[in-house]
């Protein structure tokens, strides 16, 4: 099992550790509920160094990215990021990812450079997929093992972290990034692309900088009662916003159109991409199932794989994610149901053995921020 550069710190802090995507990762420290509220109302820090990073560099770097992803990366200016996905040839999703348009000083003359940030469980899979389709004058460089990543999230993140940098953190609008000095260290990439819905930053650094960076972040945040946050709260936070989790809500068998990701599937972009025609047809003709959000009218939490039924006990879909919302204090979930039934206000039932849990389809996000 792999470790991040901060595994020892998590253990010293008494974190509950568990295997995740092949890494020994912190699931919780003080408890998921407390950590969740810390991020929603204050500021917390995640070690997400298990995530994967690739540099795409070359004269046809954009051409490769345009071919293997669904969004339109041609719209990206230097210093901007974009959410996208890698489609497979059957119209499913190889992975979802972030695309960063890097500065020209990363390149030789006539070249372009991008950074892709992918899910930890899919690093090798994504790398193989992209290389398989790299028929362009460009290079794919896997920097995952050298790159550490902290996510400082919460409404007080700007105020807590500003003393560590001359960069005006308030000026970093959503889905933009910059490089500069942070915590006394040079060439740190800071982005505003969080996975919690509570604002904040992601801080990319070399692995050998990460322990010092962690200490600097906690020193700066001490007066704000900053806390370390585990992957358990990361899941409840993303669930309240309705953000998809690869392997649960999206995978190789789910279409981005089914998953409500039509907005990152630019079927009219001029550059052809994998499964473009399939997605265009789905947008025109519709899909047979859709990912929907629901609240459960009891205290029992729906789990991945539970069947979803209509009022006549007919199976109409499957739960993909479920949790107890710490903010709402009620169980919430995501799942695929037949498209004609995926309307807010529709009553559904979650099958749990011989029992059923009444639930209601709602609009996303579950909470407003």
Mean predicted confidence (pLDDT) in 247-264 = 98
Average pLDDT, the chain: 97
For 242, which DSSP code? T
Q: How far apart are CA 350 and CA 322, in angstroms?
A: 11
The structure's pTM equals: 0.96
% of the chain with per-residue pLDDT over 70: 100
Rounded Cα distance between 317 and 259, Å, is: 13
Mean pLDDT over 112-136 rounds to 98
CB–CB of 290/342 below 8 Å? yes
Residue 80's pLDDT is 98
Q: For tokens 């917390």, what's the residue?
A: 44
Q: What are phi and psi of 163, to 5 degrees?
A: -65, -15
Do the Cβ atoms of 30 and 44 come closer than 8 Å? no
pLDDT in the model for residue 105: 79
Cα 150 to Cα 220: distance, rounded to the nearest angstrom: 14
Using an 8 Å Cβ cutoff, are 245 and 119 in contact? no
- What is the reported pLDDT for 368? 84
CA–chain centroid gap for 74, Å, is: 22
Helix, strand, coil tally for the chain in percent (to 5): 25, 35, 40
pLDDT band at 201 (very low <50, low <70, confident <90, very high): very high
The pLDDT assigned to 14 comes to: 98
Residues 32-68: pLDDT tens digits?
Answer: 999 999 999 999 999 999 999 999 999 999 999 999 9
Cβ atoms of 274 and 87 closer than 8 Å: yes
Position 161 scores a pLDDT of: 98
d(CA 202, CA 46): 9
Q: What is the set of domains in the chain, with CATH numbers?
A: 7-48+146-240 (3.30.1360.120), 288-369 (2.40.30.110)
369 has a pLDDT exceeding 80: no
Buried b / exposed e over 26-52, threshold 16 CB at 10 Å, is bbbbbebbebbbbbbebbbbbbbbbbb
Residue 138 in this model has a pLDDT that exceeds 80: yes
Structure confidence at residue 110 as a pLDDT band (50, 70, 90): confident
Could you give the CA distance from residue 315 to residue 312 in angstroms, rounded to a whole number?
9
* The two three-digit tokens of residue 4, written as one number: 């991040």
Burial bucket for residue 307 (CB in 10 Å: 0-12, 13-18, 19+): middle
* CA atoms of 335 and 317, how far apart (whole Å): 7
Report phi then psi at 86, rounded to 5.
-95, 110
Q: What integer is the mean pLDDT of 250-265?
A: 98
**Stretch 73-92: mean pLDDT:** 98
- Of 95-109, 190-204, 212-226, 326-340, least confident by mean pLDDT is 95-109
Measured CA angle at 125 (ends 119, 128), to 5 deg = 130
What is the tens place of the pLDDT at every residue in 292-338? 999 999 999 999 999 999 999 999 999 999 999 999 999 999 999 99
Q: How confident is the model at residue 106 (pLDDT cuts 50, 70, 90)?
A: confident
What would the two tokens of residue 90 be?
């059957």
- Is 82:98 a contact under the CB 8 Å cutoff? yes
pLDDT of residue 349: 97
Question: 46: closest CA among 268, 269, 174, 218?
Answer: 218
Cis before 365 (ω within 30): yes
């Amino acid at each position: 099992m792999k470790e991040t550069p901060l595994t020892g710190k998590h253990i010293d802090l008494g974190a509950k550790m568990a295997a995740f995507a092949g890494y020994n990762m912190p699931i919780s420290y003080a408890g998921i509920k407390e950590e969740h509220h810390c991020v929603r109302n204050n500021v917390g820090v995640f070690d997400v160094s298990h995530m994967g990073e690739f540099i795409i560099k070359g004269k046809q770097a954009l051409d490769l990215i345009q071919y293997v992803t669904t969004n339109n990366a041609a719209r990206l200016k230097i210093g901007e990021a974009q959410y996208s996905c890698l489609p497979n040839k059957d119209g499913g999703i190889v992975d979802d990812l972030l695309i960063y348009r890097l500065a020209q000083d990363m390149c030789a003359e006539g070249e372009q450079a991008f950074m892709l940030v992918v899910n930890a469980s899919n690093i090798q899979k994504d790398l193989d997929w992209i290389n398989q389709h790299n028929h362009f004058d460009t290079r794919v460089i896997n920097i995952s093992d050298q790159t550490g990543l902290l996510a400082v999230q919460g409404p007080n993140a700007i105020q807590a972290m500003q003393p560590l940098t001359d960069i005006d953190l308030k000026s970093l609008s959503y889905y933009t990034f910059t490089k500069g000095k942070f915590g006394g260290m040079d060439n740190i990439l800071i982005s505003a692309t969080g996975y919690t819905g509570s604002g904040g930053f992601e801080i990319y650094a070399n692995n050998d900088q990460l322990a010092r960076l962690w200490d600097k972040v906690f020193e700066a945040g001490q007066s704000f009662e900053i806390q370390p946050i585990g992957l358990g709260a990361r899941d409840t936070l993303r669930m309240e916003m309705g953000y998809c989790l690869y392997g649960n809500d999206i995978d190789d068998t789910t279409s981005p159109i089914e998953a409500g990701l039509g907005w990152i599937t630019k079927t009219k972009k001029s550059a052809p991409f994998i499964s473009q025609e399939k997605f265009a047809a789905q947008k025109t003709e519709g899909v047979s199932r859709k990912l929907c959000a629901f609240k459960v009218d009891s205290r029992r939490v729906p789990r991945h794989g539970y069947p979803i039924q209509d009022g006549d006990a007919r199976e109409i879909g499957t739960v993909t994610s479920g949790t107890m919302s710490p903010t709402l204090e009620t169980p919430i979930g995501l799942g695929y149901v037949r498209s004609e039934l995926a309307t807010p206000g529709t009553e559904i039932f979650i099958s749990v053995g011989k029992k059923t849990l009444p639930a209601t389809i709602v609009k996303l996000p579950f909470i407003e921020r």
